[in-house]
Every structure is written in structure tokens, then in C-alpha cells.
Structure 1
Amino acid sequence: DKGIKTSIQGIEMARKMGLNSKLPILYDALAQNYKAKGDYKKYAQTLKQLIAINDSVYKLNSVDVVAEMQIRYELQRNENTIIRQKLSLVEKNYWLNAYILFLITAVLITIFLFREYRKKNKARMQVLVENEKQMAFKAVLEAEENQRKRISSDLHDSLGAQANAILYGTELLQHDLGARQSLVNDLHDTAKDMLVTLRETLWAMKVKEATAAEVWLRVINFSKQLGRYYPSVNISTLGAVPAGVHISAAMSLNTVLILQEALNNSVRHSGATNINLTSKDQEGAWTITLEDDGRGFDPEAAGEKRESYGLVNMKSRAESSGIQLSILAAYNQGVKVTLRIDHAG
């Protein structure tokens, strides 16, 4: 009876505490106690209850197992999802890192190629600059050589013509004594012109370029020298020259010789009593003007005569050096000769 009582108490406690898994053991113990007591009727009833409890526990266990399996499945599925997400993230990071690495590599290659291009371009530019310098140097040498040749040619032509004039004059002296004084004067003037031309040409050959002041000074000196030979003619020089302006040797020589030719024409052939030389710096150019009050002439008619007072020679010199030359003349209205030399000359 004690075993039966203890089993019943255990069953009640298990039910109260929800320990359903212990019920089969307790009912089995109760059934054995009934059997031992010989109470087969309660033994049979207890076995039925045991079977019912076992079925119930089995069902509960089955539900628990299914629930547990469902939970494990969900957990596994979640874990798989997390793993896939991590894998996807890793792949994304991999591709991102690969893309970043590619960009860095591309940038480095671009920088390298750009530097190489700049280096080669710089070297190419240095070669071009050096070639330009050499070409410019050669051009300067060629220009200087051409200038010397031109000056030499001018010297040869001028002195040759003047020497022929002297030779021709001496031949006339030998045959025509009546014209002696006039020929002597012409020979004197021609010889003087030869010396002046020679002096100016040699000066121009010594220098690569001259300042406007140096050119103007040579014109003034020539006018003073000419005034000593022709005291009846008043020759004045006025004005100022542009400061800091340099002129090539050929242009300097031609400027001086053109003005000397114009002065000689005014003094010897125009019958002028006043000759004014004026220098001005205006509108980016040096302007030199010669005006006389002589008898003047017709430029077109004079150009057709041999006695053209060197007009053709003056125009040729101006054209060869880029000097703007203007000659205004008319009978009984004097002569005005204007030279315009750009500062870039």
C-alpha cells in the first residue's frame, strides 16, 4: 500500500509540475505495485492509463521533435542566408577591391605615361628650340653676310661710277682746255663724293647697327662740311632723334647717303640759299625732312634725263632698306625730301 500511495503522490506532483515525461515511469511503478498486491483490476486499468500516457508523451515528443527540427531548419536556413550574404559581401568587396586596384593601376600607368610624354615632349621642344636658335643664328650670319655684300656692291658701284667720271673728266681736260675750270670743279666734287662715300661705307661695315643719334650726327657733320665749301648757302639742322632706336648698318648707310645726295643736289644744282634739315620722332617712326628754296624741278622730267641728280639712286637705296621716301618738287617752288624710318628698322 505504501508503494501505491507513493506512486499516486508522485503522479500528482508530476502533473502539478508539468513533468509529463516522468508520468510513464510513475504509472509503470503504480501498475507493478497493483500487480504485487494482486489487484489485477487496477493493474489493468493502470496499464491502460500507462499506454494512453505513453501515446500522449509520444505525440508530445513527436511535436517537440518536429518543432525542434523546424527550429533547427529555420536556424540552418538563416545561417545559410547569413553565409550567402557574407559570401555575397565578400564577393562584392573582392570586386570592389579589384576595381579600386584597377583604378589605382590605371591612374599610375596614366601618370607614368603622361610623365614620359612630358619628358619626351620637353626633349623634343628643347631640340626644336636649339634648332630654332641655330637657324636664327645662321639667318643672322647670312643676313650680315648679305648686308656686307650689298654694302660692298654699293661701294663698288658708287666708287666705280665716280672713278669713271674722274677718268672721263681728265680725258676732256687733255682735249678741251676751254672747259678746264668747269671740269676741274666737277673732278673736285666727284673726288670729294668718293671720299665721303668711302668713309660712310667703311663706317657702316664696321658696325652691325647704329643708333638714330649716330646716323643723325653723321648727317649734321656732312651738312657742316658742305656748308664750309658753299658759304653762300645757309644749311640748318633742327629737331631731336628718337632715343634708344637702333637701325641696321645697311639702313643707316642708305639713310646717310640718301640725305647726302639730297644735300648735294640742293647745294650744287638748285640754286637754293636756304636748306633746312628737320628730325622728328612721331607715330612710331623717325621722320627726316629736307627742304630748300631753290628753283625746283619736274620729278617726272628729271627721271628721264641722265642729269637726274641721283633721284633713281636715292629711290633704289630707300627701297632696298625699307625706307619710305617722298620727293615733292615743282619749278620755282623748291624741293621737299622726306624719309620715314620705322622704329623697328
Structure 2
Amino acid sequence: MRKLYVHIVLALLLFTGSMAAVCAQDKYETYVHTGDSVFRKGDYAAYMKIATDALRYAEASGNCVSLSRAHLKMASAYYFLQEKNTSLQWMLTGRKIAVDCHTDSLTWIADRQIGAIYFEQSKDDSCLYYLKEAEQLLNKTDSNYAERSYLYAILGELKYRHLKDTANGKQCFDKALAYAIKANDTIKLAFANVKLGSFYNSEGQCRRAIGYYQQAVSLYRAAKLPEGLMYAIHMLAWAYSECGEAKLSYEAMLSLKNLRDSIFKDETAIKTAEYRTLYETEKKERENLLLQKQNAEKERKAQTILISSIAGFLLLIAAFWVIYTRYKHRKKAEMDERIALQQKLRFKAVMEAEEKERVRIARELHDSLGQMLSAAKMNISAMDSYHQDEAKLVNNATKLIDDSVKEVRNISHNLMPASLMEKGIETALNELAAKINDTGLLQIDLLISTGEQRLDSSAEIAIYRIVQEVVNNMIKHSKANRVEVMLDYNAEKVYLSIKDNGVGFDTANIETSTGIGWRNIFSRVYMMNGDVQIQSQPGRGTLVNIEFAK
């Protein structure tokens, strides 16, 4: 009887485990398909969310190939969010899994992309090693022309630009084009045309380069791949500039701006994407709860049938039920803990994705729109002659362009201060204080005591956004004329204090506030595992103390 009980329990566990793995694999495939369509639209923040969910289901499925592919998807998400080092680590892990499960098709993809990242980091030896590894695996097959095209395009860049081997570099570019034609792959053909265009442009043959770039633009447009289309148009504008075609270069840059505007919106679009992501997450959680209820109902019915059918095993089933109930309660407690942790990680991923979008939008405004305005100013300045009555119009146009350049820089700085990324939190806070002090609205006094080593970038961004939000609230509501900001951190703790001499307020109103300012502040502190205390009374100013582990 005891052996029969053991066999029944094992059979139930095996069946439940196998069904869960199949379900997880199906969900993984769904997320991968959805992620590819989102990626083609250029919504990389949403793509990061989908890739994270796909990774979770791949782990649950236990499928080696799916797990490797999920790691490569995560690497792609970080790559297009400009987190190249993080992308490299995910790619290396995905490659190791692919090697362990003997999947050459994923191994050479990982080798090629790892080599591409090392190329961008000017680590030529590492780049050449992984590209040669990919080439050796590809040479074992007679097909895979698309992958060969991509590989030789990158290998040509390495040999031509870094190793200064013009002949072999050109040979690789030609191979990339030939294999793309054999594969009949529009995207790889466009990529090969861009690389050949760059080769001829660098060799002083800008007219020939324009032809290749125009072909790449047409191909990327046909493939509906925004990232590639922007890349090709940008390179085409460069070739026009090299050939002295200022008007065509300007038109290309204008086309690039319009394309970017259709994909990369301002901060409002970022918030919309965030809310949409949160909505989809909540929807998925409701579906999971419903599925759990349905599974519980099925289990209850199965237990009822088993009890009524095997009357002789009532005592054994009762014992099994007690054991199962305890196990279920323990698992439910563990599940609740995991759900709380996942919610925190999802929120952190959303916040980090938002900051990445801010960085990218700021860079796009500075690099693209700024260059286009500068080009417009150069075109106006290059006018040889004009009537005296037109001089005022020309001067006004020049001034408007200068004002526009300044406004673009201000917007770019507000989205993500360059000083925060390059020099750290202390410099960024000093610049913020100086900017507000210059307005004359109030005086900000800074007292910053930091160590020699900088904080983690995510911590610096969180501190900067918290100070920015609190000071903005004080400017709007406190009627203060002085604000004191103190920042101190050591090897273990970070302390932040913000105090004003304003009218104060009833802190009980924070819970009923309809604004998102305080909500954002509390959310960021929660994300950093910190604690926030607010002391304020009407007529006695406000003090905000924040503390979190380093």
C-alpha cells in the first residue's frame, strides 16, 4: 500500500511538472513572436519588458535552446538601449548555454555579435577571435548565406578600419554583398550596401558611396526596419556632405529627423509606454490568477473522484491531503514572496528603461537636430549676397536658429544632464543648483560630502531625480526663498536631506494627493530599498530625509 501511494504521488508530480514545462514553452514562443514585432517598431523599452518575460518562461520550460535564445534576446535589448557592456555579458552567457547544448546556429550568432561589440570597443584581438570562431562554425555548412553576409560585413570593418588592411577589408565587403544576394535577404543586402558605401566614402569616392547608400535606404524601407533605415539615411547625408551637396545633405538629415520623430517621442510618449507596460503586466497577473483558480478547481475535482473511487484508501488519502495542504500553503507563501520581488524588479526595469529612453532622446536631440540647425545656419551664412532690405530677415533667421540650438540643448540637458553621466552626482547637482539660483526664484545651498569612488549610475540617477522632484515641488508650493540640500555617503549608507524655509504643509495630505510628484519620489526610494521621512507643519517649512544602503 505504501509503494502504491508513492507511485501515485510521483506520477502526479511528473504529470504536473511536464504540463507546466509545456505551458511555459508555449508562453515563451508567444513572447518571442511578440517581441520581434515590437522590435521592428523601434520600441526598445517595451522590447526589454517582453524579453524579460520570455527569459522567465524559458527558464521555467527547461528547454536549453530556448534559454540560450532568450539570453541573446536580452542582449539585443540592452544593445539597442546603448548598454553595450551589459549586452556583452548576456551574450557571453547565451553563448555558453548554446555551446553546452551543442546548438551551432545560436553559437555563431553569439560569436558574431560578441565580435561586433568588441569591434565597437576597439578590442581588436577579442573581436577577431570571436569572428573567426563564427566563421569556422559557418564553414561546416553549405548554406546560412544571410549569417555569412552579416559576419563578413563586420569582419570587413575590422580589417579595413582597425587593422588598416584595405585589400582584405574590401574583399570581405564584396563577400558580404555576394552572400546577401544568394540569401535573397533584404536586410542583410541593405547592411552590406551600407558597409560598401562607407568603404568608398572613406576612400574618397563619395559619388559611388551615394549609390550604395541609396540602395540601402530603399531596401531598409522595403523591409520596414526603422533602425536600419535611420542608419542608412544618416550615412547618405554624410556622403552628400563629402561631395559638397549641402542641400541634399540637409534634406537627408530632415528626412532622418522626421523618421526619428515618428519613432522616438518626447517624455510624454515614454510615460505612455510605461503605463501601457504596467497595464499589460496587471492584465497578465489577472490571467495567471484565473489560471491558478482553474487549476485548483481541477485538482479538487480530481481529488474528489480519487477519494470516491478508492474507498479502501481513505486513511491514506486523508494523510496525503494533510501533507498536500501544508505543502500548498508553504508554496503559496513562497509564491507571494516571489510575486512581491517580481513587482519590485519590474518597476525597477521600467524606471531604468525610462532613463535609457531619456538618454537616447537627449542624444538624438543633441546629435541630429543640433547638427541640422547648425547646417541650416551654415547655409544662411554661406549666402553670397542679398538685398539690403533682406539683411534684417537674414539676421532674424540666424538669431532664431541660435535660439533653437540653445533650446535644444536645454531640453537635452533636462532629459539627462551630460554632467551626471560623465562627472557624477556632485557636478550634476551643482549645475542644477546654479541654474535655479540664476533664476532668482530662490537660493539653493549645497553641502555634499562624498567619497573618492562614485556611486552606481542607477543610484546617481535616482538621487538626481529625487532632488529635482522635491525642489520643483518646493518652488511651486512652498513660497520659500532658500533651500538646503545635503548629500553624504560612506561605504555603507547614503544620506540625503532637503530642507526649505517655506510655508510648510500637512503631511497627511500626501496620501490623498492626486499628483504624481510624491508618488515618483516614494517609488524611487522604494526601488533603492531606502526609507523616506517627511517633517512639515503649516508655517514651519519642510524637511525631507532619505536614507538607503549603498
TM-score (norm 2): 0.26
Select the structure with the greater relative contact order (CA < 8 A; seq sep ≥ 6).
1
Higher strand share: 1
